[in-house]
Structure 1
Amino acid sequence: MCGIAGLIKFRGDAEDNIRKMNERMLHRGPDDEGTFISENGEVALGHRRLSIVDLSKNGAQPMVSHSGRMVMVYNGEIYNNKDVKQRLINDGYAKESDFRGSSDTEVLLEAIEYYGMKEALSLCKGMFGIAVYDKDTQTVTLARDRVGEKPLYYGKVAGAFAFASDLGCLRVIEGFDNAINTDVLDIYFTEGYIPAPYTIYKDINKLEAGTILTIDVKTLTTTETVYWSMKEVAKKGQNNIFTGTRKEAADELERLLKESIKDQMVADVPVGAFLSAGIDSSTIVALMQELQPGKVRTFTIGMEDKAFNEAVYAGEIAKHLGTKHTELYITEKDAKAVIPKLANMFAEPFADSSQIPTYLVSKMTRDHVTVSLSGDGGDELFCGYTSYESISRIWGKMHGIPYPVRKAASALVLASPLSKKEIYRIKGTILGAEGPVELHRMEHETDPLTKKIALKKGTLPYKYTELKNGFLSEVNHETMLMDMLVYHPDDILVKVDRTAMAVSLETRVPMLDKDVVEFAWTLPIDYLREGNVGKQVLRDVLYRYVPKQMMERPKKGFSIPIDKWLLDSDLREWAEGLLDKEKIRQQGILDPDVVEKIWTDYTENGIYRIQIWYILMFQQWYEEEFLR
């Protein structure tokens, strides 16, 4: 796990600025750093290293290919690098003795030079953000992994083309003056995050998952190619439904997960796993313990508030599986102490409040291991969220009514006095959904007040609107796909990467293995959900290792009672300082009257809207970046 940075045609001191970019992402790679400046001075590459495999200098970056033609900086891991290396040998490109070390970096670079970026990535299984400078073609090519585990930002800064693993790296470039992209604020205040390809800054984007971007060094023109598409994989899977029994499906899933976990446990540093009391992480840990001869290191955090505490149950699962378990009970004081760090950690507004416990469990885990496996992806791939069942049920009731009739009825309800009551406002809104995709999106858009937070109304297209209703024939699969395209990469994976990297911990996600993902999309819905209980085939795998009765309890989620804490004197004082009406008026970005109404509804009437945390995270980021 590392961090990468680059500048193309920077007019100032490229070497000094690439070093500043490296310094900004020290947390992503505290073990080593390196820089490269091309002979003509037009390309500068930077790298910070967190040593995981081949701890020697043989794995150092920037790395030059054997021929000298290409230079690469790379963040991530290629789990099947031995297979790719053997392919290179079998194809006559190299002999075993030609390789300088055992790093996946060297294998990846040589594969890219020999096969080309697109074919090389098709051979690789892993997570990555990559930049390769080709001296012959005078191009720099960026690439991001299939699902979006590793970040990569790029765009125009101070007249140059810049890119980095950390958005904050771009801000430290001399001459940075990119304005706030107010067009994304409507999306941010609806979702609590800014989805790819957008960022909070104008002219800076996130490279989308499964995408290659090539930059011409001379002209700075770009060419984009999609080498792997979640949409197409889902479509192909649903057109080729698994025809075996549910037991056979569980057998195959167990086999694929074991292969993924076995590959992802390879490291030259200590490896462990996050363990909650949920199906996903318990499955990963159970299979890790099955594969490893010794005790797997597992980690969880607990809270004194029983409504949010799963540590007791996680401890029972760890004891049953025989892991070496570590738990830490955090206090409100511990959690609140994290809040001032969040703006710098994410470098743009990000407001999933589970970022706080995720940071704390990462910090505790890093005291013991350098790599931790997680169970992320289980809900989205195996139909785990309860919202999937409710969307399917609601759509089942309303889809028989012609859309024009429903749309007209929706407008009537929302224009009537009934809309003053929340229940009728919600019903009126969802009645106007054109299909299940739009119904899924509308979950966050039933309150007219929260649509008025930003003064300027954004006009940017959003991925929720790009997937046509009926793209997949089954409603649950369609909503699952939306989450895999937007919520999972832009919220869940961002949260895990940034909080773990803040403490120099590498996280790996076995369920996002290419073969696991592609198999999951072939499963029929009745192998995934029975009534309101999802992840059936995943449960079938887990129950081979953990008694069913040990897992049959309500899921508490990895969250904190932020709605209660904000009323405490210290946090309330912090919040009201950020929400000062005159301060917001002077900023000229948010509507001060709407913000005041949302806050007073909470403090005086007990109406808590999730957008309160979204506003606070925006304001904290703004003050950190523009008023410090």
Structure 2
Amino acid sequence: MCGIAGLWLSEQADATGLGDRVSRMNDALYHRGPDGGDVWVDDEGGLALGQRRLAIIDLSDAGKQPMHSANGRYVMVYNGEIYNAPELREKLASANITWRGHSDTEVILECIAHWGLRDTIKRLIGMFAIALWDRQKKKLFLVRDRLGIKPLYWSRYDGHIGFASEVKGLLAGDAISREVNQTGLDAYLRFGYVPSGLSIYAHAKMLKPGHILEISSHDQATETGYWSVEDAVLNGQTHAWSGDDQSAIDALEDLLRDAVQRRMVADVPLGAFLSGGIDSSTVVALMQSVSDRPVKTFSVGFEDEAFNEAAFAGEVARHLKTDHTELYVTPKDALDLVPKLSETYDEPFFDSSAIPTYLISALTRKHVTVALSGDGGDETFGGYNRYLWAKQLSAAAGSIPFGSGLVSRGLTMLSPEYWDKLVGLMPGKKSTSAIGDKIHKAAPLLAIRDDIDRYHALISLFDPDKLRGKHASTKKFRVPGEKFCRNRHLDYVSSMQAMDTMMYMVDDVLTKVDRASMANSLEVRVPFIDHRVIEFGWRLPARLKMNGSVGKYALRQILYKYVPREMIDRPKTGFGVPLAQWLRGPLNEWMGDHLANEALYADFGLDRRQIEKLRKEHMSGKRNWGHQLWTIAMLSDWQQRWLT
């Protein structure tokens, strides 16, 4: 695991100081690799490659990068881990390679020299972002892993080509300007993050997952895919599981155990995040089943019981007999992190669960260098609550004979406060917290007749056209996979799973985990996002994912073998913070200062009256606009950190 960066200057450019520029890019990524760093310069080609190293496999100098292939043709920097490197190395036995060490970096390079880049990439099991310089053909190749676990930005600016693991690397090397990409800004306001294929900066892009970018000259770059979620879905339909349910569950358990065991190989201490939920508990249970010593597990707890999963994690840890460490944090501990978020996420990023993710990463890094995580289980195995809600809304909208639009308007004719009072009069209703707000948010969704459009509305924070008016970009961004899901006539839940895997998982979940963990120099590995698990998941019948109102049915059956059912079967809470309360309390002044930032209105064209209305309603307790207000405040925080 590490950070990578590089520059390829135009033919007319003066290469003096090129190595220094890439060294600055490297320095900006120090947190991703504090164990060492180096820069290699091809003076003739006008190119420099840099890398910061977090040593995980082969801690010797034989694992240092930039690394040259044995034949001298290729030079590579790479961020990630390849979990089938030993098998690939064995397949090269007939090539009579004199190996310098046992790093996976060297294995990738020699595989490329032997089989070629594309054939090698298709053989890899793991997470990776690769920059490969072909000295013979004078071509630069950038590669991102199938599911986008590892980030890789690239830029074309002022005649030069740049790349880096994080945008701050490009900025440090003057590889981009600070001009804002209006389409990226609109996408952020809608989704709360900037999707792959874009960035918040006009001259940079995040390379899409499963893609190779071939740059043969400064004005000729070709991006092609080598793997896609769409193909995984199609192959799953073509080769749907034909056996009984129990044999499918057994096969899934075997595959997950292999995915977990492969990710337990390291030359440094290793552990796992444990929330006590289905995904992390399954990962830890399988880790413990193949380990001859207690697995080190870590959890973070909050004083607010509604957001505290540490007690559940502790129960699971005791049952599995792990070596468990937990940290209870105060609101002050969490709030002290808020000013650091824009430094860590150098594009605007709204997901407030970045706070506990950072905290658990910091705790874990004090004890280990590598941690396994349960991320990715919800998308593949149908775990999100919104899948059930959207399915129910779809059924409700289709069952109203006289027009769901009329019902939608009727529901919003009563104020949220009136709904709270009305529901409170019903017998047996002990809690009516914000029921009126929830009705007002659900009602517009009921009026949408198209399921995919309803999904878009469900995951959207703002309509940029309404929030920015004439300032909104004319180029609209749509969720990847929408056309595919419509054309293949996938059922509603499967459509949401596919689209979430292509965007939300990549650009929210994995971005959050990568930046928070690497800010603490911690490598996080994600067994559920092994491409073989994703592909197998699409072969399973829908009933093994969402069975009635029960999500992740197959995973539950596996976990019940290791952990009592009563420890697991409880409502899903997620890994969050009491954001709405914080914005009404200890973060109120901070929010007010950021919402008063004139750049939001003068530079970004936001509607001040709309934002002030949201804040007033939120502060009164009539509505919960916590996510929307946080989204704007984080945009302001990012603007002040990176654009001024």
Q: Is the 8 A contact 1:147 1:512 kept in 2?
A: yes
8 Å CA contact 2:465–2:472 kept in 1: the answer is no
Give the whole-Å Cα distance in 1 for the aligned partners of 2:511 and 2:126: 17
Conserved in 2, the CA contact under 8 Å of 1:186 and 1:451? no
Q: Return the offset for 1:163.
A: 0.5
What do residues 106-149 of structure 1 show as CA deviations (whole Å, max 9, x unaligned)? 00011112211111011110000000000111100000001110
Question: Which residue is 2:455 aligned to?
Answer: 440
- Length-normalised TM-score, structure 1: 0.93
Residue 580 of structure 1 is matched in structure 2 by: 596
* Structure 2 unaligned spans of 5+: 417-436
Deviation at 1:287, TM superposition (A): 0.5
- Give the stretch that moved more between structures: 333-342 or 447-456: 447-456
Q: Residue 411 of structure 1 contacts residue 428 of structure 1 at CA under 8 Å; is this kept in 2?
A: no
1:186 and 1:457 in contact (8 A); partners too: yes
User: Which stretch shows the higher mean deviation, 126-135 or 604-613?
Assistant: 604-613
Q: Residues 209-252 of structure 1: CA distance to partner in whole angstroms, max 9, x if unpaired?
A: 11000101x44411111110111111210232212222111111
Counterpart of 2:448, as a letter, is: G
Would you say the 8 A contact 1:298–1:323 is kept in 2? yes
Deviation string, structure 1 residues 50-88 (Cα, Å, up to 9, x no partner): 000000000000000000000000000000001111112
Segment of structure 1 superposing worse, 197-206 or 453-462: 453-462
Amino acid aligned to 1:211: H
1:350 aligned partner: 349
SS of match in other structure, 1:463? coil
Q: After TM superposition, list the pairs within 5 Å mapping 1:3-22 onto structure 2.
A: 3-9=3-9, 11=13, 13-22=17-26
Shift of 1:494: 0.3
* Structure 1 residue 184 displacement after superposition: 2.4
The separation in 1 between residues aligned to 2:464 and 2:342, in whole angstroms, is: 25
**Residues 293 and 182 of structure 1, relative CA distance in 2, 3 Å threshold:** same
Distance 2:314 2:408 in 1: 50
Question: Which has the higher mean CA deviation after the structures are superposed, 602-611 or 244-253?
Answer: 602-611
Question: Partner of 2:213 in structure 1?
Answer: 213
Q: 1:590 aligns with which of 578, 597, 606?
A: 606
Cα shift at 1:400: 8.4
For residue 461 of structure 1, the aligned residue among 473, 477, 493 is: 477
**Cα–Cα, structure 1 residues 448 and 294, in superposed 2: closer, same or farther, change >3 Å?**
closer
Is the alpha carbon distance of 1:219 and 1:40 closer, same or farther for their aligned partners in structure 2, counting shifts above 3 Å? Answer: same
Letter in 1 for 2:123: L
Alpha-carbon offset, residue 43 of structure 1:
1.1
Aligned residue type for 1:621: W
Comparing 574-583 with 615-624, which one deviates more in the overlay?
A: 574-583
Q: Return the alpha-carbon distance in structure 2 between the equivalents of residues 321 and 393 of structure 1.
A: 36
Judging changes above 3 Å, is the alpha-carbon distance between structure 1 residues 621 and 455 closer, same or farther for their aligned structure 2 residues?
farther
Summarize the Cα distance change of 1:425–1:554 in structure 2 as closer, same or farther, 3 Å threshold: closer
Match of 1:476 among 485, 490, 493: 493
> Which of 90, 93, 96 is 2:95 aligned to?
93
* Secondary structure of the corresponding residue to residue 293 of structure 1: coil
Give 3-state SS (helix, strand or coil) of 1:315's partner.
helix
- Cα distance in 2, alignment partners of residues 362 and 417 from structure 1: 43
Unaligned ranges ≥5, structure 1? none
CA distance in 2, matches of 1:306, 1:577: 29
Distance 1:419 1:4, change over 3 A: farther
RMSD: 2.4
- 2:540 paired with 1:523: yes
Q: Displacement, 1:367?
A: 0.1
Deviation of 1:370 after TM superposition, in Å, equals: 0.1
What is the deviation of 1:155? 1.4
Structure 2 Cα separation of the partners of residues 450 and 49 of structure 1: 43
Change (3 A) 1:473 1:480: same
Note the 1:518-597 alignment, pairs <5 A. Answer: 518-569=535-586, 571-580=587-596, 582=598, 584-597=600-613
CA contact under 8 A between 1:158 and 1:177: conserved in structure 2?
Answer: no
Looking at structure 2, the residues matched to 416 and 244 of structure 1 have their Cα atoms a distance apart, in angstroms, of 46
Q: Distance in 2 between matches of 1:393 and 1:561?
A: 27
Distance 1:389 1:413 in 2: 19
User: Is residue 2:331 matched to residue 1:315?
Assistant: no
Q: Superposed, which structure 2 residues align to 1:71-470 within 5 Å? A: 71-89=75-93, 92-95=94-97, 98-174=98-174, 176-216=176-216, 218-398=217-397, 410=405, 418=413, 423=439, 426-434=442-450, 436-445=451-460, 451-452=466-467, 456-458=471-473, 459-464=475-480, 465-470=482-487
User: In the alignment, which residue of structure 1 is the partner of 2:423?
Assistant: none
Deviation of the 1:260 alpha carbon = 0.9
CA contact 1:380–1:488 (8 Å) conserved in 2: yes
- Hey, what's the Cα distance between the residues in 2 that align with 1:371 and 1:621? 29
Structure 2 counterpart of 1:205, which letter?
K
The amino acid that maps onto 1:443 is L
* Cα distance in 2 between the residues matched to 1:105 and 1:446: 41
Q: Which residue identity does 1:255 align to in structure 2?
A: D
SS at match of 1:301: strand
For residue 203 of structure 1, report the CA deviation from its aligned partner.
Answer: 2.3
455-464 vs 611-620, which moves further: 455-464
Matching residue's letter, 1:545: Y
What CA distance in whole angstroms lies between the structure 1 residues aligned with 2:282 and 2:642? Answer: 41
- The structure-2 alpha-carbon separation of the partners of 1:543 and 1:366, relative to structure 1 and needing over 3 Å to count, comes to same
Counterpart check, 1:492 vs 2:509: yes
Partner SS state of residue 30, structure 1: coil
Residue number in structure 1 paired with 2:66: 62
